[in-house]
Amino acid sequence: MVDKEEVIRIVDKHQNGLGHLISILEGIQIRYGYLPEEALRIVAEKTKTSVVEIFGVATFYRFFRLKPIGKYLVSVCLGTACHIRSSPQIIEEFERQLNIKAGETTADMEFSLEPVNCLGSCALGPMVVVNGHYFSNVTPSRVKQIIKKTREGLDKVDVDQDERIFPVEVSCPHCNHSLMDSKQLIDKHPSIKLTASFGEKHGWIRLSSLYGSPHMESEFEITSDSVVNFFCPHCNAPFIKAGNCPECDAPMVPMIVYGGGIVQICSRRGCRQHMLDLSSVNL
């Protein structure tokens, strides 16, 4: 499982041999996710030291692991502030739910549970971090929910609850007529109705008004990667190009946001580039 050549390459990257032991071990852990026994033996052989010294360093630092960890690393803070707000009960609840002890990994290699001493967010305690996603003010009853959310995918955005999601109301930059269609909802919010054309086809398109949401409906199928021309459904004027997409170089389409500012979206199907420009707003 451990590729000897690869470990030797990691060791050779550091000229100073044993003086760079921590960097070497770090490199191995980044590659394998933990420190495999064979790898440590190869390091000892290459740096001409005894295995016991390498092993001593590897067990001294908490950062280094000698066992592989699961797909999700659940860190439960047991620092002073979290501790007095009953984080021990939270870690107990995790132990019960995942059926493992703290410091262990589930048999399906999905979850690893680890107690940590402080995450530096004491005011938000008790804290739980799953693969870099922070959960604050955790209670034992929320543990189940955190595990469920982790299983479903941590990056999935909850449209109803996520505070980062907000709807925008937009109007045509040409005639200033509102583009909102409150009869047709997308993402449970009024959609933005435009006329779209590409190639020979011409028809309506509805975009989600939630800022950042890629959801949309259209009268006809728009093939991926094709650039669409947008028109106002009221004054039929084409939307003027406001610049090129920094991602894919397609024209960016501007719309005026109700209350001030301009929102731009990329006109290429599949490109999610968008930006909100509030520089013209007098706050």
Partner 1 sequence: MVNLYINSVRVSMEEGSTLLEAARFMGFPIPTLCHMEGLSPYGACRLCVVEIGEGTRAKLVSSCTYPVEEGLKVRTASERVMKARRMVIELLLASCPQSKQIQDLASSFGVRQQRFKQEHEDCILCGLCVRMCKEQMMAGAIGFQNRGEKRVINTPFNAKSEVCRLCGGCMYVCPACQLRCTYTQPDKAICGGCANLEPPCLEKEKFDDMMCYMSPCVACEIKKD
Q: Residue length, the chain?
A: 283
Q: Between 66 and 235, name the residue whose CB sits nearer to partner 1.
A: 66
Alpha helix segments (H runs only) across the chain: 4-13, 21-32, 37-47, 51-60, 80-84, 87-98, 143-152
Q: Is 256 helix (H, G, I), strand (E, B) or coil?
A: strand
Question: Measuring CA to CA, which residue among 264, 257, 253, 171 is closest to residue 212?
Answer: 264
- The set of residues, in sequence order, having a beta carbon less than 8 Å from that of 189 and lying 6+ positions away, is 167, 208, 209, 210
Q: How far is the CB of 43 from partner 1 (least distance, A)?
A: 12
x/- track of binding to partner 1 for residues 15-54 (CB under 8 A):
----------------------x--x--------xxxxxx
CB of 265 to partner 1, least distance (A): 54
247 binds partner 1 (CB under 8 A): no
Cβ proximity to partner 1, 7 vs 40, nearer residue: 40
Q: How far apart are CA 112 and CA 144, in angstroms?
A: 15
3-state secondary structure of 45: helix
Site residue total, partner 1 (CB under 8 A): 13
Which CB sits closer to partner 1, 61 or 166?
61
- Taking CB under 8 A as the rule, which mask of x and - marks residues 52-91 in contact with partner 1? xxxxx--xxx------------------------------
- Is the CB of 61 or the CB of 220 nearer to partner 1? 61
Residue whose structure tokens are 């530096």: 120
Q: Give the DSSP letter string of 177-246.
A: -B-EEEEEEETTEEEEEEEEEETTEEEEEEE--BTT---EEESSPPPTT-B-EEE-TTT-PBPPP--B-T
Tokens of 54: 């390498």
Q: How far is the CB of 165 from partner 1 (least distance, A)?
A: 44
Amino acid residing at 170? V
The residue (of 3 and 53) whose beta carbon lies closer to partner 1 is 53
Closer residue to partner 1 in complex, CB, 54/252: 54
As measured in angstroms, the least distance from the Cβ of 37 to partner 1 is 6
Least distance from C-beta 62 to partner 1, angstroms?
8
Q: How far is the CB of 57 from partner 1 (least distance, A)?
A: 10
Q: Which residues contact partner 1 by CB under 8 A?
A: 37, 40, 49-56, 59-61
